[in-house]
Structure formats: structure tokens, C-alpha cells
């Protein structure tokens, strides 16, 4: 078994419960630390008051993804980078992805693709279950189905957690007697679904369901 591949790591997490718990906890705490200290992930360069910049930052925050934002006019690192590349006003905000590639004024879908948030779908693969909406109920469905060995995919046009994900504190959710933030609840459910192999695609919008087809088909509309 190869533990360096996503599939091998997921198999290890499921097969070795105690070790899997430690690995999951370490990964979650690492991500929380990166978010708190503004490190890791993509680098956004632009003016903090521009709608495009605010939109990308909001998308990354909603999805709990670490990132760094630099002001194109005052931050020396941003100024040094802009001196080495050709950029026009229409190119902002610029995004430097972890692989070194640069996106110019990307939409949310393009940014998600660069960060690996959108899985590569096999056109010939037939899923046992497709969940539309990555709120608590949708993610719970994905966890239950994927943990039983079903092939599962989940779609959401914004972020995991739905309306609950934006709640500062949830105190009436089963299993959390002292309460939990919506962001933390959504993050845990999201990771748990991925642990069992569910393919979660954000941001992707489901445009239509074609019930006359066999098997049924979901028509997707990528959103900005």
C-alpha cells in the first residue's frame, strides 16, 4: 500500500483508527494554525478594497483555506513581484498559486481548480450517490454513504456547511453539548467525508437533473 497517494492515505486512516485519528488531528490543527497566522496557500495581490480581491478572500475564508493577501501598492514583496511580470489594471487581483503559476483576475472556479478543490471527474464513472448541497445534511449523507463503500460525489456552489457554516455558535447540534462554531462543524464534516473518499466539488452549481436518462445525469454549470 502506498501511503504517499491520497487513496493510500485514506485507506490508512480508515484501517488504523488510532493512527488515523492522530493524523487527522495533526492535519486539522496545522490548517487552523496556517489560517490564524495568514501563512501557506495562495498569495493574493491587489487592493484590499477592490470587489474582486474581497470576493476571492471571502471564498477562501468560507472554505477554510489558508491564504496570504498582499497590497499591490504598499507591500514590498508584492511590488517586487510586479516588477518582474507584466500586469495591467485588468489583471488584478493576481493570485500566485502554491505551484508557482499566476492567475490574473480569476473567478472562484478558476481559483478552486488551481488549488485542487475541484476533483477531476471521469466521464465514464457512475456514482452511487450524488448530493446537491454541502450543508450539514448533505455532508452527513456523504459520510454515511461513503463509509459504507458507495461511490459518492457532493456539489455546492459556495462553501461547505451551508447556512450553519456561517453561524458563530451552534449549541443544539447532536454530539456537541458545549457548542461548536459553524465553521468548525462544517470543516470537520468536510474532512470526514473526504476521509471516506467522497468527491466534493466546490464551487460547482447543479443546473438540471435529467431523470429520463439511465443512469440519471446531473447537468453542471460552473459559477464565478
Q: Which residues of 143-173 are buried (b: 16+ CB within 10 A; e: fewer)?
A: bebbbeeeebbbbbbbbbbbebbebeebeee
CB-based contacts of 63, cutoff 8 Å, min separation 6: 117, 159, 160, 202
CA-based nearest residue to 189, from 140, 145, 146: 140
Give residue 4's pLDDT. Answer: 61
Identify the pLDDT of residue 133.
95
Which pLDDT belongs to residue 175? 86
Query: Residue 67: what pLDDT?
Result: 92
pLDDT recorded at residue 25: 82
**DSSP strand pairing (94-96 vs 43-46):** antiparallel
Mean pLDDT of successive 10-residue stretches along the chain, which has 224 residues? 66 79 81 76 90 94 90 92 88 94 94 88 92 95 96 94 88 88 88 91 92 91 62
Domain boundaries, the chain: 38-114, 118-222
CA distance 224 to 214: 30
| CATH class as words, domain 38-114 | alpha beta
CA–CA dist 166, 164 (Å, integer): 5
**Residue-level pLDDT at 32:** 76
Q: Which CATH superfamily is domain 118-222 in?
A: FAD/NAD(P)-binding domain (3.50.50.60)
At 86 the pLDDT is: 85
Amino acid at each position: 500500500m502506498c501511503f504517499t497517494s491520497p487513496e493510500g492515505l485514506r485507506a490508512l486512516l480508515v484501517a488504523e483508527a488510532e493512527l488515523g485519528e492522530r493524523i487527522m488531528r495533526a492535519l486539522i490543527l496545522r490548517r487552523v494554525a496556517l489560517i490564524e497566522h495568514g501563512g501557506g496557500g495562495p498569495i493574493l495581490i491587489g487592493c484590499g478594497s477592490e470587489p474582486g480581491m474581497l470576493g476571492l478572500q471571502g471564498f477562501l475564508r468560507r472554505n477554510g483555506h489558508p491564504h496570504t493577501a498582499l497590497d499591490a501598492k504598499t507591500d514590498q514583496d508584492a511590488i517586487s513581484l510586479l516588477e518582474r511580470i507584466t500586469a495591467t489594471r485588468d489583471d488584478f487581483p493576481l493570485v500566485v498559486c502554491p505551484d508557482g503559476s499566476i492567475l490574473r483576475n480569476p473567478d472562484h472556479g478558476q481559483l478552486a481548480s488551481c488549488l485542487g478543490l475541484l476533483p477531476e471527474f471521469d466521464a465514464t464513472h457512475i456514482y452511487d450517490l450524488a448530493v446537491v448541497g454541502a450543508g450539514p445534511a448533505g455532508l452527513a449523507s456523504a459520510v454515511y454513504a461513503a463509509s459504507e463503500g458507495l461511490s459518492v460525489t457532493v456539489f455546492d456552489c459556495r462553501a461547505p456547511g451551508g447556512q450553519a457554516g456561517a453561524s458563530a455558535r451552534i449549541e443544539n447540534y447532536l454530539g456537541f453539548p458545549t457548542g461548536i462554531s459553524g465553521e468548525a462543524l462544517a470543516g470537520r464534516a468536510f474532512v470526514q467525508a473526504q476521509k471516506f473518499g467522497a468527491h466534493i466539488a466546490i464551487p460547482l452549481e447543479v443546473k438540471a437533473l435529467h431523470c429520463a436518462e439511465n443512469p440519471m445525469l446531473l447537468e453542471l454549470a460552473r459559477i464565478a
